[in-house]
Structure formats: C-alpha cells, structure tokens
Amino acid sequence: MTILADPMERALDLARQAAEAGEVPVGAVIVDPESGAIVAEGFNQPIAGHDPTAHAEIVALRRAAERLGNYRLTGLHLYVTLEPCAMCAGAISLARIGKLVFAACDPKGGAVIHGARFFEQPTCHWRPEVVQDEATGETASTLLKDFFKARRA
C-alpha cells in the first residue's frame, strides 16, 4: 500500500486524469488513518464504463471493498475533490466510512451540506465525520469550471 503525505493532492491528480479522459474531473482516495496507506482510489468513469454509477467515490469504494474482502469499510477515510451527490453519500453511509473529506462544494448536485443533506436524514443509519477541505476547494472548483468551460467552447 502506498502512503502519501496529502491524500487530497492525490485525489486532485486523479481528477486531472478524469478530465484528460473526457470525464468530469472528480477524484477519490480511501485511506487507512492508522497507517496513512491508500487502500483504494478512483476517478469519474461513467462515460468510459457506460455506467451511470461510476462516480469517483463509488469506484474507490468498490475497489476498497474488493481489496479488503468486506463491503464495510469502517473507520477508513475518504478524500474526494467534490461534495458527494445523494447516490455517493448513500454508498458512503452503507460502507461505514469513518471520515469524509471533500474539497469543492456542489450547491447544485451535492447532498452532504447542500441539497438533501443525506447524513442529516433520520433514515441514514451511519454518519461519517464530514470535513470540507477549504485549502483545496478552490483548486478543485477551478478544475471543474475549466473543464466545463472548455466543453462549451
């Protein structure tokens, strides 16, 4: 397992890879907080995979569960460059992620501090600690804005 000083920087690198592949630039990294080791990572792949559920978080969660042989990822930390949508928030809850760290807010599609506020719902049975990484929020936001600006040009 790889150990990184800053998992969010790796998530941003993955987001850049997604953009280069023509996918919305979102990257995700799952880390074991005790060792600092990366358990799994992923970036958006719904176009290439013909899979509407292949968001960065889902890709990383699937890989981590497969690697560990368990769908419960209790205590692990998930770093993602964009506030998760409702689908991803649900998957994060079901996986029992211990801490969610996201960079850019998503007022339109986010479901953690915007929209549905999934983890605040009474039907949500597992709530991770949630942290917005404001230090990388602007970088992640710029990646997204530049990606969509280029697509409209």
Q: Among 11, 74, 71, which Cα is nearest to 38's?
A: 11
Cα separation of 6 and 11, whole Å? 9
**pLDDT for the residue 3:** 64
Strands laid side by side in the 38-43 sheet:
38-43, 27-31, 77-82, 99-104, 129-132
Q: Is 57 a catalytic residue?
A: yes
List the chain domain ranges.
Answer: 7-147
Q: pLDDT tens, 23-37?
A: 999 999 999 999 999
The two three-digit tokens of residue 101, written as one number: 């760290």
| 77 assigned ligand-binding residue | no
Region at 133 (left for phi over 0; alpha for psi -120 to 50; beta for the rest) = beta
Among candidate residues 34, 57, 66, 138, the one labeled active-site is 57
Cα separation of 127 and 56, whole Å? 19
Q: How far is CA 45 from CA 8, 70, 73, in A?
A: 19, 23, 22
**Quick one: angle between helices 56-68 and 86-95, nearest 10?**
20
Q: pLDDT tens, 103-137?
A: 999 999 999 999 999 999 999 999 999 999 999 99
| 55 assigned ligand-binding residue | yes
| 88 assigned ligand-binding residue | yes
Task: Check residues 2 and 141 and name the one with the higher pLDDT.
Answer: 141
For residue 30, the SS3 value is strand
CATH number, domain 7-147: 3.40.140.10
